[in-house]
Structure 1
Amino acid sequence: MAMAVLIPCLIYLLFETSQLAQTYSMLQANFTRLGHVYNELKDNMNTVKHSYDSSNHTLTAVYKILNALVDRGYRACPRTWIKFQRICYHISRKLETWQEANTSCASQNATLVMVNSEAQQEFLASFDKGNRWIGLNNLQNIQSFRWVNGEPLVTGYWSSNEPDKSKAKRCVRKTVDGTWKSDQCDNRYSYICQIRSINYIIQLLNLPFPIESQL
């Protein structure tokens, strides 16, 4: 009686062992195939990285050539814009709030003007005698004014008794003598847009926008 029960159990165990062996073989084969796929993906990734590095080096060389052209006086600015050093400027005669002016400049792939040097300040003061919005603001309600690109103000060219400490005056305009005044952002003035010459060329040529290290 015991033998009659044992034999079917042995047969069942042999069958299960055979099935496990087949499953193991399949898993081992799949693992081997995955190894081959991984190696292929790794090789492809190295190829892509090499291509990217080569393209990156080529673009860096192109950007350096374009910068050299700008430095040697090539007039790379939109029509009616004025170039000083590496930057193009445009004075809009439209009267807009600060936010509207900021949006209008952005729609032209430009920004409200950002003054980062004394030479730039002197140029703008002599070139233009109007009240114009510039890209300086304190809309974030922090201790210091910042430019539209998020950079903090380093050197200010304020009028006397400026900036006004009033919380209502969070945007900045250039005055007729070139100095700056804080003002209510909803007031309407004309404004000055700027774009870097090389950025304008890059847009014309439909090139990828460079990172700072490539310029």
Structure 2
Amino acid sequence: MATLGIVLKNSFHKLDIETTLSPGATLKSQEDSRYSSCQERWVGYQCNCYFISSELKTWKESRDFCASRNSTLLQMHNKDELHFMKLSKYFYWIGVTYSAEHSAWVWEDGSVVSQDLLPNSQTANPMTCVVYGRANGIWDEPCTSKNMYICQQQLI
């Protein structure tokens, strides 16, 4: 019986496990010591930990939630950064707002968003924030709307 337990444990230890993050978002978890420092219910990927919510909040509520977990709303460098998210019909707040002071879309840290990431078709309005949907791209929406959100925490 003990031998069978050891064999079964070793067999399942090597398998990839598919973790459901939120409706429509999945990721293959891999056993990797780099990701062991991610908080519970967070997913490690490329030196970052991500929390993909399943609850609806305004942009500010989402930003505050992420800050309370020592993280920020997602700051993407390219549209393929989150390729681990399967095609999702949901939109998620990311860390972009329009800055009237800079007359540009900016990340939470104040840096300007690349035009490659955010096309000119987005409304230049300080009352709008940005949502990301893997299947639907990047859109602006009133910051007071409620959406799910993605928090990001760098491991390094």
- Shorter-chain TM-score: which interval? 0.5 to 0.7
Unaligned runs of at least 5 residues, structure 2? 1-31
Over residues 77-115 of structure 1, what are the superposed CA-to-partner deviations in whole Å (9 max), with x where a residue is unaligned?
111111111111001122111111111100000000000
- Which of 58, 75, 86 lines up with 2:47 in the alignment? 86
Shift of residue 175 of structure 1? 2.4
Q: Where does residue 83 of structure 2 map in the other structure? A: 122
User: Taking structure 2 as the reference length, what is the TM-score of the superposition?
Assistant: 0.68
Q: Measured at CA, do residues 157 and 133 of structure 1 come closer, stay the same or move farther in structure 2, by a change above 3 Å?
A: same
Q: Where does residue 8 of structure 2 map in the other structure? A: none
Letter in 2 for 1:146: V
Q: Where does residue 15 of structure 2 map in the other structure? A: none
Q: CA RMSD in A?
A: 2.5
Shift of residue 137 of structure 1? 0.8
- Which of 147, 164, 172 lines up with 2:130 in the alignment? 172
Q: Where does residue 140 of structure 2 map in the other structure? A: 182
Over residues 98-148 of structure 1, what are the superposed CA-to-partner deviations in whole Å (9 max), with x where a residue is unaligned?
111111100000000000135414345x37552110001114453211111
| Distance (Å, rounded) in 2 between the aligned partners of 1:140 and 1:92 | 29
Aligned counterparts, 1:29-108, within 5 A: 73-75=33-35, 76-108=37-69
Q: Measured at CA, do residues 127 and 176 of structure 1 come closer, stay the same or move farther in structure 2, by a change above 3 Å?
A: closer
Unaligned runs of at least 5 residues, structure 1? 1-71, 199-215
Q: Measured at CA, do residues 137 and 100 of structure 1 come closer, stay the same or move farther in structure 2, by a change above 3 Å?
A: same
User: Taking structure 1 as the reference length, what is the TM-score of the superposition?
Assistant: 0.51
- Greater gyration radius: 1
Matched position secondary structure for 1:151: coil
Q: Where does residue 133 of structure 1 map in the other structure? A: 93
Letter in 2 for 1:162: S
Task: Flag the structure with more relative contact order, 1 or 2, with Cα contacts below 8 A and sequence separation at least 6.
Answer: 2
